[in-house]
Structure 1
Amino acid sequence: MLIDLTGRTALVTGSTAGIGLAIAEGLHASGATVILNGRTDERVAAAAEKFGTSERVRGVAADIGTAAGCQAVVEAEPEVDILVNNAGVFSPQPLFEIPDAEWERFFAVNVMSGIRLSRHYVPAMTKRQWGRTVFVSSESAVQIPPEMVHYGTTKTAQLAVARGMAEAVRGTGVTVNSVLPGPTASEGVERFVREMVGDEIESMEEAGRIFVERERPTSLLGRLASAEEVANLVVYLCSDQAAATTGAALRVDGGVLRGVL
C-alpha cells in the first residue's frame, strides 16, 4: 500500500518526542508538510532537526494545555488538512490523593486541547470535503489503570469526543477516529516504567518487559511497542485509503485488551 499525502498539511500536537514525533516523521515520509508542536522553542527546534531537512517542516511552540496556547497555534497555522491530537500528560498517583488541580490539568491537556483545536480546524475541513482528525487515546480508556485513574478517565473522554465529532461531520469526506496505544517506549514512558519497576534494571528493554509482565499481564506482545509501530496506524488513518474508517476506536495495544472488539 502506497500512502501519498503530497500537498496535505498536518499538525501533530505534542510532537517533539515519542509517539508524536514518530507520527510526524511518518506523515512527512508520506509527503505531507508537518507542523511540529511543543511547549518551548528549544524542543520544537530540536525535533525539527531530526528530519534532516527543513523542507515541509514547520513548528509552533505553545502550551496547548491552555486556551491561550491553542489560540496561538491556530493564529500561527490557521488551516490544516490533518489534525493529530496527540499531546498528553500522565503520571501515577493514588486515586484518593489526586487533588483538584491535577484532575483539571489532565483534562486541560488531554481533553480540552483536542476539543479546542478540532473546533477550529474541523469545520474548515468539511468545507473542503476532505480532512483527517485523529485522537491519540490509550488502552487505559477501556481498562482504567488503578495507578492513574485520572489519566484513564481523560482517555475515555477522548473516545466520546472523537465519536461525537465523527457523527457531527458525517457525509462530508472528513473522518474522525481514535487510536488506543498500549504501553509504548517513549521519553515519558521510560520515566514511568522506572518508577513502577525500580531503577535496578539497567536495560530499558528489560525494564519494559518486566513492567508489561507485572502491570499489563494480558499483553500478547509481551513488550513495549515502539513509537513507530503506533505511528504506522495513525499514518494510515490520515490517508485516502482510510476514507471508510470513521467514528472508530482502533487498538494498537499489543493485545492488552482482552475483548474481541
Structure 2
Amino acid sequence: MDFDGKTILVTGSTRGIGAAVVELFLQRGGAVIVHGREQKQVDGALAGMPKDTRVRGVAADLADRDQCKALARQVGELDVLVNSAGTFREAAIAETPLDLWNETIAVNVTAPWVLSQALLPALRRRQGVIVNVGSDAAILGYAGCVAYCAAKGALVGLTRALATELAPDVRAICVCPGPTETDMMQASVAAAPDPDAARRQWASYPLLGRVATPAEIAEAIVFAASPAARYLTGSVIMADGGTTAGKHV
C-alpha cells in the first residue's frame, strides 16, 4: 500500500474533510495522528474508529502558537503533514472585528507555518510532504468573509515558498476545495435568511452542479501526499468541481 510504514499528522481531523483524510490514509496503510482542538473531540473521534494501533490522537488549540509547538514535540518521526485545520466565520469587511481577523489568520496561516517549521527536521529525514488544505476562496473573493479569503490566499503563498525553499528534500502542495458538505458549510447555510436558497446557491457554483463530499476532497489530498504525485511540488490543486474554472461568484 502507498503509505505502509509512513506516519501522517492530520490537523483538524476529528470531523469533516480531516476525518475523511484520516480514514483514507488508514485504508492505504499509514499510521495516523488525529488532531482536534479539545481532548474530548479527539477522544470522540477515536471512539468512532475501529481499534487500530496505527492511530493515536493529540489535542491542541492551533490559535495558540505555544500549543502548536507542544503538538509538534509530541509527533516524533513524520512523513506527511496535512494542515487541514481551519476556521471560518462570516462577516462583512465593515463588521469584521480584529479578534476574528487574528483568529482566522492564526489558525489558517500561522499554525501551518509554525508546524511546518517545527516538524521540518523530521520531514527532511523522511523526504516528507506538506499538504496544506486551502480553499477556492484563495482565488475567488467571496463577499462576507474577507478574513478567510485573505488567510487562504496567504496559505497558497506559504505553500509555494515552502516548496521553493525545501526542495528537493520536502514537497509542498496546496489542495483547494470548493463547496463541500462539511459542518462549516452547513453552519453557513443554516445562518442564511433562506437556507434552502443558500444550499442551492452553493451547489450552483461548481460546474459539476453539486457540492463535494469530504471523501472526494480526501482523495485529492491523499493523492498529493502519495508517491504517485512525487513530481508535484509548489502545485495548487483546485478540487472545486470547476468553480474557479468557469464561474465567478
Is the structural similarity TM-score above 0.5? yes
Aligned match of 1:250: 237
Q: How far is 1:18 from its partner?
A: 0.2
Aligned match of 1:162: 159
Task: Write the mapping of 1:23-172 to structure 2, written as runs, cut at 5 A.
Answer: 23-128=21-126, 130-172=127-169
Matched position secondary structure for 2:140: coil
Q: How many residues align?
A: 247
Matched position secondary structure for 1:11: strand
TM value normalised by structure 1: 0.90
Distance in 2, Cα, partners of 1:5 & 1:189: 30
Distance in 2, Cα, partners of 1:107 & 1:91: 12
TM value normalised by structure 2: 0.94
Distance in 2, Cα, partners of 1:223 & 1:196: 19
Q: Percent identity?
A: 35
Q: After the TM superposition, which segments of 4 or more aligned residues of structure 1 sit over 6 Å from their partners?
A: none
CA deviation string 1:23-76 (max 9, x = no partner): 111111111011011011111011112321232110001111111211221122
Matched position secondary structure for 2:154: helix
Let me know the Cα RMSD of the aligned residues: 1.7
Q: How far is 1:196 from its partner?
A: 2.9
Distance in 2, Cα, partners of 1:212 & 1:178: 23
CA contact (8 A) 2:177 2:238 kept: yes
Structure 1 runs not aligned, ≥5 long: none
CA contact (8 A) 1:197 1:211 kept: no
Letter in 1 for 2:139: V
CA deviation string 1:187-236 (max 9, x = no partner): 2211112223534x4xxxx86334333xx3xx212221000000001111
